[in-house]
Amino acid sequence: MTKQQNTPELRFPEFNEEWHNYKISHFLKESRIKGNLGSKAKKLTVKLWGKGVVPKQETFKGSDNTQYYIRKSGQLMYGKLDFLNCAFGIVPVELNNFESTIDSPSFDFIDGSPKFLLERIKMKSFYKKFGDIANGSRKAKRINQETFLSMPIYSPTYEEQLKIGQFFSKLDRQIELEEEKLELLEQQKKGYMQKTFTQELRFKDKNENDYPKWETKKIKELGNVCTGNTPSKKQSEYWDSKDYIWVTPTDINDTKNLKSSEYMLSNEGFKKARQLPKNTLLITCIASIGKNAILREVGACNQQINALVPIDNNDVDFLYYAFEKVSKYMKRIAGKTATQIVNKSTFENIIVKVPNFEEQKKLGNFLNSLDKLIEKQSNKVRLLKQRKQGLLQKMFV
């Protein structure tokens, strides 16, 4: 590790030379091999946020007035219109000879390590800084080839570039493997969900006997349904402390268990809200329809959310998973109205099939255990990506 001018904070010990400033044209030369016209071209595209080069999905063939250009595996590409959205990638072997327009130009490497250069230009300190400078005050965020090739970067010797590139290739592969494990767990859960709610997967009771058949019930038979409200925003004393959660649809994303919210109520504000106990099921019913979560603390919600407080013989964890099917149904019926909404009356009369409480508990615990495995693996992937970002900041100038 060294700290000297034009050198990174973190280095491999065998390197100590200063890094030098080069234009991108030192490493790349534009390739412009004419290909087919739009109707015949095998098209590829560059995904945003450094997600690589992929086949382009099309609903129509394309215009014969548009010229396409052949791209070769190993070439670097970027999207002119999405430069500021980190649209960079290297053409993979399987897309060799696919084509794009001049709005997604390609470049041959004439010097340096491809992986080193790709990682550097994918950093916000490159594409945002130089993209903003190049654009100035123009509305169209289009970066042409000449502008891109004139942008500067600091670079070490080829040997150090290569070692840095190899290091990040190994780290990327590690992230990829962990993402594959995560995807496998998610697919397993999807399969178990399908088997659970078609009743292909059933548990036995303590005597190894079958549980009773599932019953068909309306949501209002599963618990007490209420719609949230918003205490007056004009009364600052309702919002001047963080005593209670107050959930809005933006708080409900991929997280099953809610223990915090963007906005919080004071004791005075909570008195004006429709108060909910912990372990209440929340379902969005206006605009963003059918998002679910479990309120794990005493709190409240706004009027875009219907809350189900389960009665004693219903398990909130099971209901959370059962409501995945309810969510799909809600989206279908809400889509038929001018304003997407499922009102309380419609919501509480939706039909749900449920087993008895004991089997609900077992199924809820089983699916919850899968979610915990997924969460653990997801955190592993997230931490690896954070580690990579930290290393990028320290290993580049």
CATH code of the domain occupying 20-155? 3.90.220.20
**pLDDT score, position 233:** 94
**pLDDT score, position 307:** 97
Q: How far apart are CA 288 and CA 252, in angstroms?
A: 10
pLDDT band at 27 (very low <50, low <70, confident <90, very high): very high
Q: How far apart are CA 206 and CA 195, in angstroms?
A: 21
**pLDDT score, position 2:** 45
pLDDT (mean) for 21-37: 97
**pLDDT score, position 282:** 98
**pLDDT score, position 336:** 67
Helix, strand, coil percent values for the chain (each to nearest 5):
40, 20, 40
Strand 28-31 relative to strand 106-109: parallel, antiparallel, unpaired? antiparallel
Which region among 89-93, 150-154, 327-331 has the lowest average model confidence (pLDDT)? 327-331
Angle in degrees, CA 292, 297, 300, rounded to 5: 65
Q: Where in the chain is the domain with CATH 3.90.220.20?
A: 20-155, 215-354
Q: How far apart are CA 164 and CA 79, in angstroms?
A: 25
pLDDT > 70? residue 1: no
**pLDDT score, position 256:** 94
pLDDT tens figures, 200-236: 988 988 899 999 999 999 999 999 999 999 999 999 9
Question: Does 65 or 90 have the greater pLDDT score?
Answer: 90
**pLDDT score, position 244:** 97
Whether 282 and 293 have beta carbons less than 8 Å apart is answered as yes
Sign of CA dihedral 168, 172, 178, 182: positive
**Could you give the percent of the chain with pLDDT greater than 70?**
96
pLDDT tens figures, 345-355: 999 999 999 99
**pLDDT score, position 249:** 95
Calculated CA dihedral for residues 348, 350, 351, 356, nearest 10 degrees? -30
pLDDT > 90? residue 59: no
**pLDDT score, position 63:** 82
pLDDT band at 58 (very low <50, low <70, confident <90, very high): confident
pLDDT > 70? residue 140: no
pLDDT > 90? residue 371: yes
CATH code of the domain occupying 215-354? 3.90.220.20
Q: Which helix (H) or strand (E) segment is 23 a member of? A: strand 20-23
**pLDDT score, position 314:** 96
CATH code of the domain occupying 160-208+356-397? 1.10.287
pLDDT > 70? residue 138: no
What is the residue-averaged pLDDT of the chain? 93
Which region among 55-69, 221-235, 253-267 has the lowest average model confidence (pLDDT)? 55-69
pLDDT tens figures, 295-312: 999 999 999 999 999 998
Q: Where in the chain is the domain with CATH 1.10.287?
A: 160-208+356-397
Question: Does 254 or 25 have the greater pLDDT score?
Answer: 25
